[in-house]
Every structure is written in structure tokens, then in C-alpha cells.
């Protein structure tokens, strides 16, 4: 459900979720002091990710567009998991 990348002191997550209006995705910059709590809560599948850090990018749909995936790679050196492995 998420991929962890820690580079340049950053802790980034790619998250896919389903809200009442449908599928959505997020890139979250996790606050270091919230990491342990996040790891416990993510297993329940019921959390407000805004409580755990800064949302860098997000939108509705099952997977981000190519330009967002490229932006995350170029800006944060973050490799978004392939679409087929994130379901």
C-alpha cells in the first residue's frame, strides 16, 4: 500500500486510498515524530493522513499521471511503485 523512501532526511509515502467519492492517491511527506504512530494506524486502513505530515501531491483516481510521477522522481528522487503493484 505504500513505498518508503528516506533520502535527504525525507520520509515519503505513496498512498492509495478509497474515500466515499472513490479512489484517490497521495504523496505524503511524513513527519519523523509521527512515523511510529503512522505505521501502526496505516495497518487499520482508517486514518486521516493529513495528521501525519504534509501532502505533497494528491488527486482522485487510481494512479497519478505521468507528469506527477516524473515530478516526484525529479524533485524528491522518489520512485513511485508501478501501477500494477500498488493495488
- Condensed to tens digits (0 to 9), the pLDDT of residues 27-48 reads 999 999 999 999 888 888 788 8
Q: Do 63 and 25 form a contact (C-beta atoms < 8 A)?
A: yes
pLDDT (0 to 100) of residue 34: 93
- Residue 2 φ then ψ, to 5°: -145, 155
| Higher-confidence position of 20 and 65 | 65
pTM of the prediction?
A: 0.79
The least confident of 5-9, 19-23, 45-49 is 5-9
Domain range list for the chain: 4-80
End-to-end Cα distance, the chain:
7
pLDDT (0 to 100) of residue 21: 85
Strand intervals (E) in 1-87? 4-7, 10-19, 22-30, 53-60
Amino acid at each position: 500500500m505504500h513505498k518508503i523512501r528516506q533520502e535527504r532526511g525525507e520520509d515519503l509515502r505513496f498512498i492509495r486510498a478509497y474515500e466515499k467519492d472513490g479512489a484517490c492517491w497521495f504523496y505524503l511527506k511524513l513527519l519523523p515524530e509521527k512515523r511510529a504512530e503512522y505505521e501502526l494506524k496505516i495497518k487499520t486502513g482508517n486514518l486521516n493522513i493529513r495528521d501525519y505530515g504534509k501532502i505533497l501531491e494528491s488527486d482522485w483516481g487510481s494512479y497519478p499521471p505521468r507528469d506527477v510521477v516524473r515530478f516526484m522522481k525529479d524533485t524528491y528522487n522518489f520512485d513511485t511503485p508501478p501501477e500494477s503493484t500498488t493495488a
